Amino acid sequence: MDLQERVAVLEERTRPTSKSLLDHLKEWGGVGTLIVALLYTFPLGVWDRFYLTSKARAEAEIGELRLVALEIAKLDGDWARTAGGISTPELQTMATRAVGSQKTTLLTGKLDEIVKYQDQLTTPELVMFAYSVSQINMPELADSLYQKAFEKSEMDETIWLSADILRLRATSLLNKSIQFDIDEVRSLYGESAKLLASSKTDAFVLQLAFTLFDWATIEFTKGDWACGEILSHKALEKLDSLPAFNPVVAQYKRQFVMRIGKMSPHIELPRKDCSANLVSLVK
């Protein structure tokens, strides 16, 4: 076979042949299967990698925050048990600073997560974090967390907790600046007292007495002395209305009287009138 004949045979072999419909379906069927597979598996991969992973990460971070809250609660519990045995102000100051340092260490790197997950945290957890960041001199963040905790407590209709959050928020405002707003502090204490006065149960009356005395202490030290006297007398009246056999009542009364006895008017203390409408809330 000469060269020309060989070329002719080769051309015949390599010439494209017409394909049947079945042949086309087979070819495009393979490509279609690949496309469908990609469209099906890609979203699943994205879901698994990004959504499920972010959800698991969020759950892990919230879990870590709850462990931090438990550690802080343990610190506060230990402090409450030992504080009564500290005899000198110097040692008490040192112990308070030590607790503050421990809280700072626990909260380091967690503040952004606390804000991020505040909707997922429980009301007591938010109160715990708010109180702690207030102690480490972050009053703005504390105030924000207290407000979120108060919103949640209102939805839960836990009056005693709502009242205590208002009281704690009032005390945290004192750390905002030297020129704090005494009227705002009084307003929060007044709202707290009003909530507690809505119930005549012993637990609410006892909490009301504590709130009034707490408010009185603020007036004695940063507000109006006469207002502090009115509030402290109201607090003692509330304690006297409770059953005398309750050891907690007797203990609180001794502490109140002792603390009042140690206070004295400051000559340089500005006279800031205690609004009559706030005092009238605790009649």
Last residue of a domain, one of 109, 129, 157: 157
Residues 129, 66 share a domain: yes
Of 38-47, 85-94, 178-187, 243-252, the one with minimum mean pLDDT is: 38-47
Give me the pLDDT at residue 148, please.
Answer: 94
Cβ atoms 283, 196 nearer than 8 A: no
pTM for the model: 0.73
| Full domain range(s) for residue 185 | 159-283
The domain boundary, picked from 142, 157, 172, lies at 157
pLDDT of residue 31: 47
Domains held by the chain: number: 2
54 versus 142: the higher-pLDDT residue is: 142
Residues 165 and 278 reside in one and the same domain? yes
Please state, rounded to an integer, the average pLDDT across all residues of the chain.
77
**CA distance linking residue 88 with residue 150, whole number of Å:** 36
What phi and psi values does residue 269 have, to the nearest 5 degrees?
A: -70, 125
Same domain (yes/no): 179, 115: no
Residues 184 and 117 in one domain: no
Residue 267 within a domain: yes
pLDDT-derived band at 85, boundaries 50, 70, 90? low
Do residues 245 and 203 touch, judged by C-beta distance below 8 A?
Answer: no
Q: Tell me, what's the pLDDT at 144?
A: 93
pLDDT tens digit sequence for 103-137: 888 888 889 999 999 999 999 999 989 998 988 88
Residue 281: pLDDT band (50, 70, 90) is low
Which of 99, 128, 157 is the endpoint of a domain?
157
25, part of any domain? no
Q: What is the pLDDT of residue 28?
A: 44
